[in-house]
Amino acid sequence: MQLCRSVERLRQELAALTLQGETLALVPTMGNLHEGHLSLVRAAGRLADRVVVSIFVNPLQFDRAEDLAAYPRTLEADVEALRRLPCDLVFAPDIDEIYPDPEHTTRIHVPGLADVLEGASRPGHFDGVATIVAKLFNLVQPDVALFGEKDYQQLLLIRRMVRDLDFPVEVVGLPTVREADGLAMSSRNGLLDTRQRALAPALHEVLAEVAARLARGEVDHAALEHEAEAALEARGLRPDYVRIRDAEDLSEPRPGRPLVVLAAAWLGSVRLIDNLRVDLNPESQ
């Protein structure tokens, strides 16, 4: 496994990796790898001949400087974990390598999806996401790229960008990997103290209750959202939002279409997100 810190070295190694026409998978990450990331890498090894994992804490997608500063950097441990997996190359550039002039770099905006839910709570966040993913697609030129469904809005946004800009990349989303108590695995979980960690599974539990009520036929979405936010607050979290949306484009729900319940909530200074899809017509499968 090769570790590349520069674009020039990356291009040299990629040329060697794909010399015989091998297919290439990319798993973009910000490091501090957990089982959710590692499951993406294993899946990548099944989908392509060669696997590249990027590790880059992208400053453009952080709306708060303190959040960027607090994000864990664990490159040495990440590289060691990846050595045991089907990973051929790790691309871990410094900020200057990706953004020589970050204040004036070209940014990509995906209208609609970038401006609601997470985009409304974190202005500019998805412009940063779209920009770094587009840069990685251009640099690595993968055949397939893998993302987790925990960041559901991000996954839809990247698929839209790929469609609109004609990137020749298949975007694959994999189910959220959870702890035994249901908490979605996230690099931010390590920032929770003992008390907060005990409270955190409530986010998934409240989402599961909303999903179950939707599956039973409840249709007053506004009431369900309000009750879910109240339930989170009662259980020690500070809700940002709970919203029920169309699962394919995050628009307002329409009859007969699959739904997704999305939520964000704070525990102290740590912001957690989660989601659950809801199939209203399971018998049709």
Q: Which amino acid does the sequence have at 162?
A: V
Phi-psi map region of 259: left, alpha, beta (phi>0 left; psi -120 to 50 alpha): beta
* Sheet of 170-174, strand order: 2-4, 89-91, 50-55, 24-29, 144-148, 170-174
d(CA 164, CA 190): 36
CA-angle at 14, arms to 8 and 15, nearest 5°: 95
Number of Cα atoms under 13 Å in the Cβ half of residue 270: 21
CA 255 to chain centre: 28
CA 139 to chain centre: 20
Q: H or E stretch including 70?
A: helix 65-70
Nearest to 147 by CA among 139, 89, 161: 161
CA 276 to chain centre: 14
- Three-state SS string over 107-139 comes to CCCCCCCCCCCHHHHCCCHHHHHHHHHHHHHHH
3-state class of 282 per DSSP? Answer: helix
Catalytic residue among 34, 37, 204, 221: 37
37 is catalytic: yes
Catalytic residues: 37
